Structure 1
Amino acid sequence: MVSKMTKRYVVILAAGKGTRMKSTLPKVLHQVAGKPMVELVLDTALAAGVNQVVTVVGYGGDQVAKQLGQRSAIARQAEQLGTGHAILMAEDQLGDQDGMTLIASGDAPLFTVETFNKLFEMHEKAGNAVTVLTAEAPNPYGYGRIVRDALGNVIRIVEQKDATPAEQALTEVNTGVYVFNNRLLFESLHEVTNDNAQGEYYLPDTLEILRTQGYTVGAYKMADFDESMGVNDRIALAQANRVMRQRINQYHMANGVTLVDPVNTYIDQDVQIGQDTVIEPNVSLLGHTKIGARVTITAGSRLVNTQVEDAAQIDASHMEDAYVGEGATVGPYAHLRPKAHLAEGAHAGNFVEVKNAILGAHSKMGHLSYLGDATVGEDVNIGAGTVFVNYDGLHKYHTNVGDRAFIGSNTKLIAPVTLADETITAAGSTITNDLPKHAMGIARARQTTKPAFWSWTPLAQKFDEQTANHD
């Protein structure tokens, strides 16, 4: 009977620079579906219930370590001398432990929790010294081939350049992921030499060492070859994003979300979406965005770290770090900036911008207005062209508007100012003083009318000349 108490460890290889990415950013920090690749690998490892993760860093190591925080121990590889050398850097943390150690690459972000779990389980059940994760490749060129004996045991992994024609015809390939008996892993790594063209210490050499010592080398073949995709350049990064986003979109559709055009819908890994929500094409839901049930999001919308409650409607709008209450409507072409808060049933319409402000329940700000550093009460109507003037060039100030107020079109509210409940501003006013309850504020120049002024204008003279020529 297989013990369920066998400890699981993971070593993530994340030391490479990734020169083919043509970037100053370490390769493993390039993002797939909104997360750095190495963090996706870490998420998968932790979800598989491992006892400890050690990430081996090199180029940009401080950046990688900062990204992973306290979720992974860090080992540092000062010189990139091969995969075998990299894993030896984790010996201080893991070398004296009993259990199983999975080796993963920080630039291969598509492996699933299910695959890691099955690999661990198969390795433990078989009692192997090492188990290689393999897959059937549609085009195996460039991959290391898995060579088995008649009983199905792995004899060796042969690289493309060293393979015979018969071996090149094999389609089962090495994915670069292994599970080892932890103590045997480090014992065999000390026997690996760098007697090769690159002068590096290669992890696959341990398989031959263990096999010749009489240990069993096994393999677990996974079903989906796409999971094994490694990212070495921007082309592969785009392909990995395509695979991951397809996986994410299928998950949401299977859970009751309508994606009108899944191919052109971009949803990050940590986004949550409720049932019966409808999302049109060219929508991006990014970061830790959370969407409720029965929400409609129309084409062209982009939401970042934003929460949208049930039955809201987002129409071709952009939002960052914002909150949209139940039944609220936004857009088209609205911009909700950080700390924008629309309460239940509120409306921010076309070409409206909201930042660090609360628009109260059932209040309406229909079009062409700016709401910044303000608290607006319930059932307030804000006319077109209204500006909450919050900044004097040095400091920002707050505006308060009470319930059921009516803000006339083209009003300027010069903060700090407070309008009490059920106040009114006349259209075109510039309000600089507080208004008490039920008051109306009028702050504009008195109209002057000059009769018969038209006939003296150059425009009238030009019109008369055109009329005469026409006659």
Structure 2
Amino acid sequence: MQTVVLAAGEGTRLRPLTDRRPKPTVPVADRTLVEHVVDAAEAAGAARVVVVVGYGADAVRDALGDRTTVEFVTQERQRGTADAVRAARDRLDDAPFAVLNGDVLYDRASLSRLYDAGPGVGAARVDDPSNYGVLETDGDGRVRGVVEKPDDPASDLVNAGAYVFPAAARDWLDVGESDRGELELTDVLTRACGAVEMRAVTVERWLDVGRPWELLAANEWKLGELDRRIEGEVHPDADLRGPVVVEDGASVDAGVVIEGPALVRAGASVGPNAYVRGATLVGEGATVGHGVEVKNSVLMAGATVGHLSYVGDSVLGRDVNFGAGTTVANLRHDDQPVVVRVKGDPTSTGRRKFGVVCGDDAKTGIETALNAGVVLGTGARTTPGETVRRDRDRSA
């Protein structure tokens, strides 16, 4: 099955983590997000994968490397998902083709079923379908159409953003533009439903990684799939429990306790008496200092958490530096879900516990206290002893 992977978007809802990198290249466990998508496609039966790139194209190419099954095409202007597939049209043979979003995780068994059952669309049941495209189906599971973000959804079955189209769909990529001046795959899907039998194929597990807490959830999922592997330097007095991976070139010092699932990547170090637990990623070259506790968090490459600090349920970008004694709050006293501002709008994470989001190169002074849901922008600074209750950009 030839497959198109859409990886040209900027990922604005994931800012500030995507200020300096495209969303498909953010880390999820031991590889980037787009690598997980391509790996799942290949496992499902994709013999050829055409990756559509745009924003940060070189970073996406570097992440995928020299795979013989992968080729790239550039979308010059971002005018919707169908327009992105249209950019790849000349690379497609006259045969059915799959389309996957490069920022959505799928379980491989579900993708295999979709590839085998196509033409079809991946379908998932969600608690709140009003934020998705709701699929209209008949009693036999045939898709009749899709309604985008309805106020009164007719069902909880939504479009999971994975498709297998018939070969004829290559000629349907010139459908009219939407009200936003974009060409969308949902319009192609509607055309397909009127021409062929499109099946709704249930996706057991999927995750649209669009906002910072969803990146945390993605790492929880993929770290949970890792098997224990100890290749780096681990002090005899360290205590590693459960599925813990310490890559070659990483080091774990005396008195450390790591409760898996956890991954300590090459070049990273975990200092004396540190405590790492939950689903935690310590990225390449990252540092967890003496007496630090890190719980259920993502530390991207080069991030440093100074000694005697606490980081819980948080995402730290590349080269973030937390001064000694920095403390992250990750729980509201009223037990309501933590709220984070996304593109300026207060948005519920749906998570009772969530800490902070820090863009690349953010730095805190010693004894800084960060409130739950705070976002520190790329290059942001705090002063020693400061309590930060609101988001901060670059100034101290």
| TM-score (norm. length: structure 1) | 0.50
1:45 and 1:152, CA in 2 relative to 1: closer, same or farther beyond 3 A? closer
Pairing 1:285-434 to 2, within 5 Å after superposition: 285=245, 299-300=257-258, 303-305=264-266
The residue that corresponds to 2:377 in the other structure is none
The residue that corresponds to 1:177 in the other structure is 162
Q: In structure 2, give the amino acid aligned to 1:21.
A: L
Structure 2 SS opposite 1:54: strand
Pairing 1:166-205 to 2, within 5 Å after superposition: 168-181=153-166, 183-190=167-174, 192-194=175-177, 196-205=178-187
Q: Deviations over 1:244-273 (max 9, x none)?
A: 22x32xx64xxxx6xxxxxxxxx99x99xx
Q: CA deviation at 1:185?
A: 2.2
Give the conservation status (yes or no) of the 8 Å contact 2:122–2:159: yes
Q: CA deviation at 1:315?
A: 8.7
Inter-partner Cα distance in structure 2 for 1:320 and 1:178 = 33
Q: Deviations over 1:386-443 (max 9, x none)?
A: xxxxxxxxxxxxxxxxxxxxxxxxxxxxxxxxxxxxxxxxxxxxxxxxxxxxxxxxxx
The residue that corresponds to 1:206 in the other structure is 188
Residue of 142, 147, 156 corresponding to 2:145: 156
Residue of 236, 252, 259 corresponding to 2:214: 236
Give the conservation status (yes or no) of the 8 Å contact 2:52–2:87: yes
Inter-partner Cα distance in structure 1 for 2:248 and 2:7 = 25
Q: In structure 1, give the amino acid aligned to 2:257.
A: A
Q: Deviations over 1:183-217 (max 9, x none)?
A: 22211213x110x221100111112223333x212
Q: CA deviation at 1:316?
A: 6.0
Q: CA deviation at 1:287?
A: 5.2
Give the conservation status (yes or no) of the 8 Å contact 1:300–1:316: no
Over the aligned positions, Cα root-mean-square deviation in angstroms equals 3.8
Q: Percent identity?
A: 29
Larger fraction in helix: 1
Give the conservation status (yes or no) of the 8 Å contact 2:5–2:101: yes
Structure whose alpha-carbon radius of gyration is higher: 1
Structure 1, unaligned runs of 5 or more: 1-7, 124-129, 258-266, 272-277, 291-295, 307-313, 322-332, 334-471
Number of positions where the alignment pairs a residue of Structure 1 with one of Structure 2: 264
Q: Deviations over 1:297-317 (max 9, x none)?
A: 9515984349xxxxxxx9969
Inter-partner Cα distance in structure 2 for 1:279 and 1:297 = 10
1:286 and 1:201, CA in 2 relative to 1: closer, same or farther beyond 3 A? farther
Inter-partner Cα distance in structure 1 for 2:140 and 2:39 = 36
1:62 and 1:136, CA in 2 relative to 1: closer, same or farther beyond 3 A? same
The residue that corresponds to 2:106 in the other structure is 111
Give the conservation status (yes or no) of the 8 Å contact 1:289–1:303: no
Q: Which has the higher contact order (CA 8 A, sep 6+)?
A: 2
Give the conservation status (yes or no) of the 8 Å contact 2:121–2:200: yes
Q: In structure 2, give the amino acid aligned to 1:113.
A: R
1:14 and 1:169, CA in 2 relative to 1: closer, same or farther beyond 3 A? same
Give the conservation status (yes or no) of the 8 Å contact 1:14–1:28: yes
1:43 and 1:211, CA in 2 relative to 1: closer, same or farther beyond 3 A? closer
The residue that corresponds to 1:88 in the other structure is 86
Structure 2 SS opposite 1:70: coil
Give the conservation status (yes or no) of the 8 Å contact 1:34–1:287: no
